[in-house]
Amino acid sequence: MVTTDQLIKKAVKMKENAYIPYSKFPVGAAVSTRSGIIYTGCNIENASYPLACCAERVAIFKAVSEGEREFTDMAVSANTMRPVPPCGACRQVMAEFFPAHMKVHLINKEEHVKTVTVEELLPFSFQTEDLQVRE
C-alpha cells in the first residue's frame, strides 16, 4: 500500500522534471491507484503559452492512459507560500476521475501540507449525469 508520505515525497521530487522555460514555476504531482501504483507528473510548457499542461493533469492522464480508473490519493507540490491550490481545469479533471471524498494533499515550499477533498476543491461540479438532457 502507498503511504501519504511516499506520495508527498514523489510529488515534491517531480518538481525537478518540470519543463518550465517560460514561467520558471515548477509543479510536481503524484496520484496513487487502488492497484498500489504511483503515477507522477510535472508541468510541461510550450512556446505557444496556452498549450502548457499542469502537473496534476499530466499525472492523471498518464494513469488513465494506462487503464487505471480507481484512484486513492493525490499530492501536488509547488514552491508557493501557501499549499498550492490546483487550477480550475485540474479540479474538473479530478472531479471526473476521483471519488468526491478522495483526499488531495497540497504542499508548499516548506513542505507544509494541507489536505482537502475533491468535493471541497470543486463543489457542485459538472458530472456525467448532467449530460442527460431533457427531451
Cα–chain-centroid distance for residue 65? Answer: 15
Q: How far apart are CA 56 and CA 78, in angstroms?
A: 11
Amino acid at 48: S
The C-alpha cell of 94 is what? Answer: 479530478
**Shortest Cβ 22–ligand THU spacing (Å):** 7
Q: How far apart are CA 105 and CA 135, in angstroms?
A: 41
Query: E strands within 6-118?
Result: 27-33, 38-42, 71-78, 103-107, 113-117
Q: How far apart are CA 81 and CA 59, in angstroms?
A: 23
**Shortest Cβ 117–ligand THU spacing (Å):** 16
- Confirm whether 129 is a catalytic residue: no
Give 45 or 119: the residue with its C-beta nearer to ligand THU.
45
- Which residues make up the interface to ligand THU (CB under 6 A)? 20, 23, 25, 27, 43, 45, 52, 54-56, 84, 86-87, 90
Of 56, 66, 70, 111, the active-site residue reads 56
Give 90 or 95: the residue with its C-beta nearer to ligand THU.
90
**Shortest Cβ 78–ligand THU spacing (Å):** 7
Give 96 or 134: the residue with its C-beta nearer to ligand THU.
96
User: Could you list the active site residues?
Assistant: 56
